[in-house]
Structure 1
Amino acid sequence: MNLDKHSRTITLQCPTCGGSSFEFETIESPEVKCVQCERVIQRDELLRENSETIQENLNEVTSNVSKDITDQVRKTLKDAFKGNKNIKFK
């Protein structure tokens, strides 16, 4: 199964202006600055403010992965029992 097709990029939005571009000094920096409104916000707070969007994407990916796994198992079992008259798959 190719898990790369389930990869997502989630665009976070500034809770003040809805902007999606942020600046930060280093990748480890605890603060980010919205390019549009210049609000400085903690990364943790930005994630909390966007938690609904993150959760929606997570639910969608989880559902898609579950469906793909189910389809893969079904296909594997069908192939394993191909030609057997006593076992049928719906």
Structure 2
Amino acid sequence: MWKTLDLVRVYTKPRGLAPDYSQPVVLRRGKCSVDDFCSSIHKEIAKQMKYAIVWGASAKHSRGQKVGLEHILEDEDVVHISKK
């Protein structure tokens, strides 16, 4: 059984809407990059992604940080994916 410390909960934020805190995307620590996040939603999203904006512990700025696929997410981060 996994410990809760081994899991990272990531929330989605659709464009123009508030973050959806009702259904987090749950990733395992060590497999919690933006690429892993995209793949857990749909395998084509990472290919279509232009950049992601992240709010939370892994972001350098409280207003959000523009990141790429290699960015490592922390527990309770909020992610918005911008497509090409």
Report the structure, 1 or 2, having the larger strand content: 2
Q: TM-score, normalization: structure 2?
A: 0.25
Question: Relative contact order, CA 8 A, sep 6+: which one is greater?
Answer: 2
Larger radius of gyration: 1
| Structure with the larger helix share | 1
